[in-house]
Amino acid sequence: MARDEVILRFDKVDFQYEPNKPVLEEVSFTVRRNSKITVMGQNGGGKSTIFGLITGGLKPESGNVFLSNGMSVAIGRQVILREELDLTVRKFFERALISLSKFKKGPSVEKVYNIDPKIDAVLDIVNLQQSEGIHDKKVGSFSGGQQARLLLAFALIQDPDLLLLDEPTNNLDRAGVEHLTEYLKQYKKTLMVISHDADFLNSFTDGVLYLDINTRKVGQYVGNYFDVLEQVSSQVDKEQKKNAQLSKKIQENKDKANFFANKGGRMRLLAKRMRTEAEELEENKVDVRRDDKTIRPFSIPIQEGVVGEILKVTEFTTINPKTHKPVIRKKSLVVKKGEHLLLQGPNGIGKSTLLESIAQKKTSGSEIKNGVKVGYYRQDFSNLDFNQTVYESLISIMERPREETMRSTAAGFLITSEIMKSKIGSLSEGQKGLVAFAQLVLLEPGLLILDEPTNHINFRHIPIIAESLSKYEGAMVLVSHVPEFVSDVRIDEILDLEK
């Protein structure tokens, strides 16, 4: 088949999860064979929805999604499903190959044979260090970064004609991102990637689908994201100039109409004609493309009365990367009010486990000062109640609930009145992250514990988040694999778990 053959086409596709709450409206675009396409847009704009429509997991309200006959599709999801956490690695990958069979002719696969060598091959591709008995380990026993590699391998083992990757760099350390980038540069089939990491995307993409959360439509552009910014900026300038010229003409007509209307007689007919012309000119105005909004600058208030030493650490457990066995390490560490600690180390060494043990007070090796409120940002958002509405989640976190304060804080994180009515579980991962930050502001903690707080977040918001964390006056413990973000956050001490 020809390289430039269209293998995927959206034709005026509409989609909504709830009545009168459209996500996509008359979306049309095409994807050609062997192209590498970026899907970008605001958190909650419908990027993952497009992937769901491609795989058939979602059905359009109207319009059509056309996929070439015999095309196999696989998706690397953002997160491991909760029901998958208890699966062994072998069972997890069996699901992948059974899932692939629905795109193939003939009966569906119910049993996969000789799968272990295939698993070993894809784990090597995603640079996940293998250990004895790894096929029988439960998926939930892996770290967040290792789970991210498993999700990528889940898609790659299917060797699909169309590979969909949803935020593939989340939780990956620098080595993991570099390894993935090189792999995708050499990738020979069709690729569509959702990501907020512009530098990662620009290294391999040749086209961009940009979702406009305001119009709920998709713009299709050639080139990488930086090329798109130039094209969009030029387009906006033209539209604004055209509208300015029309506005000037409209005002002139209105002024003349008002003047002639006061003259009486035939002048009134002329005034009416000029008002009609002004209305027609108004209709000719174009909708200027509105760029993604950014969150407002914010501050996380510190708990009143908190002073001195907030957190003490005397020992912690890491995982030996060669033996994959726990190692207890002694360390005398104190984090005082106003001090920021960065935890470093490769995927799988135990950073998230250490953060959770501190936050949940599950280890004798750390101690939080009595009475200190802990604001804990988990990378998987499992400390959010997915059955609560956003309103309930935010108002319940406040020590002295005030709806006006809560709504004002929420608005700063782009949480609208419509989103406020939605259940946490129905939000995109990026929107969950913004809700989690709004919670931290309303909680007014004395200790912040942050595990990969930039995952899923639109890159436009990240500098604002970094500045806010830098100014936080309480104690803070941070884990992040994004060096640009870390460099913008005030860090007073580093604990490298590898050393």
Q: Are 200 and 151 within 8 A, CB to CB? A: no
The model's pLDDT over 173-183, given as tens digits with 9 standing for 90+, comes to: 777 788 888 88
Q: Are 311 and 477 within 8 A, CB to CB? A: yes
Provide the pLDDT for residue 321. 67
pTM, to two decimals: 0.66
Provide the pLDDT for residue 479. 92
DSSP string, 70-111: T--EEEE-SS--GGGTTSBHHHHHHHHHHHHGGGSSSSPP--
Q: Does domain 309-496 have CATH number 1.10.3470.10?
A: no
Provide the pLDDT for residue 106. 44
Q: What is residue 202's three-state secondary structure? A: helix
Provide the pLDDT for residue 473. 95
Provide the pLDDT for residue 251. 80
H or E segment to which residue 255 belongs = helix 225-261
State the Cα–Cα distance between residues 339 and 493, nearest whole angstrom: 8
H or E segment to which residue 25 belongs = strand 21-32
Tokens, residue 257: 């109409």
Backbone angles phi, psi at 485, to 5 degrees: -65, -50
Residues in the chain predicted with pLDDT less than 70, given as ranges, are 1-3, 99-113, 225, 229-240, 264-265, 278-279, 281-292, 321-324
State the Cα–Cα distance between residues 52 and 71, nearest whole angstrom: 16
User: What is the fold of 6-228?
Assistant: Rossmann fold (3.40.50)
Length of the chain: 499
Considering only CA atoms, give the Rg of the chain: 26
Range(s) of the chain covered by CATH 3.40.50.300:
6-228, 309-496
